Amino acid sequence: MPSTRKKTKKNKTRKKRKKRKKNKYVVGIVSVPLSPNKKFFKVCGDSYIASSHITWLKRQNIEVLIIPYTTKNLKYYFNRIHGLYLPSGGAFAGTQMKYYNICKKLLMMAMKENDKGCHFPVWGCCMGFQQMLILADGNDDVDNFLQKFDSYNNLLLPIKFTEEGKHSRFVRGIGEKSFKKLKNTKCTMNNHKLGITPEKMKKNKRVNAFYKNVGISKDRKGKEFVAIIEARHYPFYGVQWHPERDSSMDALVKFFSKEVKKSKRKTYKTKHYKRYKKMTSKKIDCMNYSENLYKKCTFYWHKRSSSHNKKLCNVAQLRNTQNLDGTGGGV
């Protein structure tokens, strides 16, 4: 007669596996176009993402799905994710309508999802933060909406929280310890030349109606810029600086991951889209490419017929080449 203990153990293992599958959360990250004036343009793929964004999310057991900015089928990606992440990148991307339009479409889809009662959070970092502001303005003015600041080259700054910001979901979510650190120490790493002043944000009726100004910082010349935003009626959050590059800022990604895990939306599995093939990807040393901003970047080839040369990318003094199986998506 078979042992009932063995059966019980097997049943428990199966239940655990089912629970793991149910608790699988995926965030979509939009890839950033390569800059035409960079040395490795037309060598290392069609787009890239600083690897710090990917590892930041993965530390919270959030899976990542890369969304190529050139895709013509957003539904494929949107139907597989529980949240959206707009990463940092070159300032040039803010003037590329193709990149801006993909961010616009995804944010509109995220808004519709929330309007249906399905929790769908969005996080924007640096350039992603800037895209969110331009979109809220409603004029698609990628060339002139943002203002210039001297906040480049790893400038460490504190945050001055606004009265409205002190009572925000963001502040409650990161906890008192992180709130005090941001407020009292020069700990936010800034690498941006563009942004928006608190005055301009307040005067802009559309932006001010959509987002709260949660916190402010000052650049090297004492010019104030908005450092943190939070949507008034949606779970959308943006930071002008780089918390993903500092492990002491993990309270922020924990907050965002909790927002993601509130989602109860049903997502499609890869098998529903068999005709889509994974992108080729490489994680490589990109200090030269990013002008010493990022240690590692993941570069992506969007098409099988891409003219970009994968072998040359190996030779271009870009070390530690590896394929990333878990981050590729269809095109």
Quote the pLDDT of residue 278. Answer: 72
Does residue 60 form part of some domain? no
Which CATH number covers residue 95?
Answer: 3.40.50.880
- Which domain range does residue 230 map to? 82-266
Residue 248 included in any domain? yes
| Other residues' Cβ atoms within 10 Å of the Cβ of residue 181 | 18
User: Has residue 271 been placed in a domain?
Assistant: no
Q: Specify if 305 maps to a domain.
A: no
Asked whether residue 288 is assigned to any structural domain, the reply reads no
Q: What is the 3-state secondary structure (H, E, C) of the chain?
A: CCCHHHHHHHHHHHHHHHHHHHCCCEEEEECEECCCCCCCCCCCCCEEEEHHHHHHHHCCCCEEEEECCCCCCHHHHHCCCCEEEECCCCHHHHHCHHHHHHHHHHHHHHHHHHHCCCCCCEEEECHHHHHHHHHHHCCCCCCCCCEEEEEEEEEEECCEECCCHHHCHHHHHHHHHHHHHHHHCCCEEEEEEEECCHHHHHHCHHHHHHEEEEEEEECCCCCEEEEEEEECCCCEEEECCCHHHCHHHHHHHHHHHHHHCCCCCCCCCHHHHCCCCCCEEEEEECCCCCCCCCCEEEEEECCCCCCCCHHHHHHCCCCCCCCCCCCCCCC
Residues in the chain: 331
Higher pLDDT pick, 117 / 286: 117
> What's the structural domain count of the chain?
1
pLDDT in tens, 109-160: 999 999 999 999 999 999 999 999 999 999 999 889 999 999 999 999 999 9
What percentage of the chain reaches a pLDDT higher than 70? 76
Instruction: Tell me the pLDDT band of 326, cut-offs 50, 70 and 90.
Output: very low
Asked whether residue 319 is assigned to any structural domain, the reply reads no
Question: Is residue 127 one of the residues assigned to a domain?
Answer: yes
Instruction: With respect to residue 109, please indicate whether it lies within any of the assigned structural domains.
Output: yes
* Residue 265 CA to its chain's centroid (Å): 20
pLDDT at 328: 36
Q: Is the pLDDT of residue 321 over 60?
A: no
Residue 143 pLDDT: 87
pLDDT at residue 79 in the model: 94
